Amino acid sequence: MRVGINVTPLYSGHKLRGIGYYTKNLLDYLRKEANIEVSEFTKLSEIKDVDLIHYPWFDLYFRTLPIIKPFPAIVTIHDVIPMLFAEKYPVGIKGRINFYFQKLALNNCKFVLTDSYASKKDIQKHLRIEEKKVIVIPLAADPKFKILKDPEIFRIKKKYNLAEKFVLYAGDANWIKNLPFLIDSFRELINNEHFKEVKLVLVGGVFLKNVENINHPELESLKEVNRKIRDFHLESHIVRPGYIDDNELAAFYNLATVYVQPSLYEGFGLPVLQAFACGTPVISSSAGSLPEIGGKAALYFAPSDLKKFVSLLTEVLQDKSLRNKLSKLGFEQVDKFSWEKTAKQTAEVYKQVISNS
């Protein structure tokens, strides 16, 4: 079975984001599958003799999928968040034109893969793709995310001067991540005398960017976060280490008292699984796919319910037995996901395409 996979995300701005992560891991694990020969390409002209092609990402408002395809094709659509919150993602005339052609290009794809049942429901509704064509194949945490030995985590703790107790968030800072809400909640938490020494750690290169003089709608949430940190005088309570690699991030998870995912919506929510794999208790919003991914291992709140979120933070920070319980449940939950499973399920779709072509 010869499969061509478009690897453009590995050479674009997606490289360090979820789409790049998915593309790289899918390639690595498909190469371990028997009877699959993988060919990488960025242009269709580079592919000559394959049984099918796989586009591991789909942009709603840019031309990422060709209408004319020389081989049977499948595409992965991770989510349609810009359609769910259209007022926050203005696309303009060019975007609407591109969307028309992207929808046209979907028509002759054999299957659409997606990461969660929440995303499948959205794809069916907003892109009007029939149910049987949309197949859910979950992602997984990288094996680097695991319980680490003391020398390594102590080295990271010293390097970044991390507190004994801290709340961790890792990821982007766009509107959907709901980070102004997180800052408001953290401020409320440390107003409590018992938690004044607790720190908030925000991991991601975006948190060190100077964005104040850049006029772009996707930066407005980050500007609000920065403004709240200044206005609330939280600078000494918040740690922003910038971009760190996965090995160091695994140590941050190991050291964190609790990981939080306050998002207004997620098509998957990979950091939740990364936290579970490191034994970190998780408090998550109940939006989108997050309850589907977290199962019974996380504690949930509505993404606008500040009082509930602060109450859960208080409970987890105070109660070591609860943290131990959540950690145990997290290990059980993350074991349900693996890149071996993702690759095998994807390979099964490839076989179905080839047998029906």
Domain enclosing residue 70, as ranges: 2-140+338-356
pLDDT score of 217 more than 90: no
Read off the pLDDT band of 354 (50, 70, 90): very high
Buried b (16+ CB within 10 A) or exposed e, 88-102: bbebeeebeebbeeb
Distance CA 260, CA 275 (A): 9
At residue 152 the predicted structure's pLDDT band, cuts being 50, 70 and 90, is confident
Are both 168 and 311 inside the same structural domain?
A: yes
Assess if residue 303 is contained within a domain: yes
Q: Are residues 108 and 178 in the same domain?
A: no
Q: Please give the residue that has the higher pLDDT: either 222 or 259.
A: 259
- Whether residue 209 is predicted with pLDDT greater than 90 in this model: the reply is no
- pLDDT tens for 295-326 read 999 999 999 999 999 999 999 999 999 999 99
* Both structure tokens of 108: 């002759």
Does 212 score more than 80 pLDDT? Answer: no
CATH, residue 44: 3.40.50.2000
- Please indicate, yes or no, whether residues 180 and 302 belong to a single structural domain of this protein: yes
106 burial level (CB within 10 Å; 0-12, 13-18, 19+): buried
How many other β-carbons are positioned within 10 Å of the β-carbon of residue 245? 9
Do 99 and 209 lie in one domain? The reply is no
How far apart CA 357 and CA 355 sit, in angstroms, is 6
Please tell me the total count of domains within the chain: 2
Assigned domain for 96 exists = yes
Whether residue 292 contacts residue 272, with contact meaning beta carbons closer than 8 Å, is answered with no
Give per-residue burial for 184-213: e unless 16+ CB within 10 Å, then b: ebbbbbbeeeebeebbbbbbbebbeeebee
Domain check: are 288 and 312 in the same one?
yes
Token output for 26: 């899918």
Over the chain, what is the mean pLDDT?
Answer: 94
Read off the pTM.
0.95
Quickly list H helices, the chain: 18-30, 81-84, 92-106, 117-127, 150-159, 179-190, 220-231, 246-255, 270-277, 290-294, 306-318, 320-334, 339-356
C-alpha span between 348 and 136 (Å, rounded): 12
pLDDT of residue 232: 95
Does 62 have pLDDT greater than 80? yes
145: in domain: no
